[in-house]
Amino acid sequence: MSKLRIAIQKSGRLNQDSLKILKDCGISIDNGKDQLKAQASNFDLEVYYLRNGDIPQYLRDGVVDCAIIGENVLIEKGTDITIAEKLGFSKCRVSLAIPKEQEYSSLNYFKNKRIATSYPNTVNNFLQEKGISVNLHKINGSVEIAPNIGLADGICDIVSSGSTLFKNNLKEVEVLLTSEAVLAISPQLTSDKKSLLSKLQFRIQSVLKARN
């Protein structure tokens, strides 16, 4: 029988909590640290450690059957992918922020401004709807540094504790969306995997109930 393939974040904020929920589901993963693929010893499951931003494409292509991923990543580049379960951890916001000494009264502030972000589609969709056009600079990490080095007038990025904004003298002025980790399903999921997925999902639901 073929195994269920699940993608989780290779490194970063979701990694530990994703492994933890699988563990709480009673699934033991044979983990050599630097391996990109690992097997569960007591469940027909293969774990793929992938870059966050690559996971939507792997789901779309059916390279993996499901994934634990931030909802924000799906909103940015995976709106075609189904969410089976919200997982209640890695809660965050995707927000616009500006230098804290700037006065801010409305979204008009951003008209024709330069915004640095890893979430160009999310920002575009949000601002276009409001009739505001901006210059977007896409960067993949350390976005909050952009205003300080003169690259942008504002940023749009994930805010969790708020400490990265604080350390970079920025203030959050608009929340575009809230997000948490979710279980996402490949649109290519084959019927032979469905019962395994249901079994995993049932265990996840039990874990979540016990956590609440």
Interface residue list for ligand PRP (CB under 6 A): 12-13, 141-144, 157-164
In the bound complex, what is the minimum distance in angstroms from residue 91's beta carbon to ligand PRP?
A: 11
Query: Taking CA 61 as the corner, what is the angle to CA 58 and CA 63, rounded to the nearest 5 degrees?
Result: 60
Shortest CB 155 distance to ligand PRP, Å: 9
* C-beta neighbour count of 102 within 10 angstroms: 13
Output the smallest distance, CB 94 to ligand PRP, in A: 10
Residue whose entry in the numeric block shows the structure tokens 């690559």: 54
Nearer to ligand PRP, 9 or 186 (CB): 9
**Contacts with 212 (C-beta within 8 Å, 6 or more apart), sequence order:** 88
CB of 68 to ligand PRP, least distance (A): 16
Buried b (16+ CB within 10 A) or exposed e, 1-15: eeebbbbbbeeebbb
- Residue 179 C-beta: closest distance to ligand PRP, Å: 11
Nearer to ligand PRP, 47 or 170 (CB): 170
Nearer Cβ to ligand PRP (140/191): 140
Please, what is the minimum distance in Å from the beta carbon of residue 163 to ligand PRP?
Answer: 4
SS3 36: coil
Written as one letter, the residue type at 207 is V
* Comparison of 12 and 26: residue with beta carbon closer to ligand PRP: 12
CA 14-72-7 angle, 5° bins = 45
Name the amino acid, one letter, at 109.
Y
Q: Which residues contact 30 (CB under 8 A, 6 or more apart)?
A: 38, 39, 40, 41
Q: Side chain identity at 149, as an amino acid letter?
A: I
Q: Considering beta carbons, is residue 41 or 160 the nearer one to ligand PRP? A: 160
CA distance 32 to 180: 27
Q: What's the CA gap between 106 and 127, in Å, rounded?
A: 12
Residue nearest to ligand PRP (CB): 141
Q: Given the complex with ligand PRP, which of 6 and 97 has the nearer CB atom?
A: 97
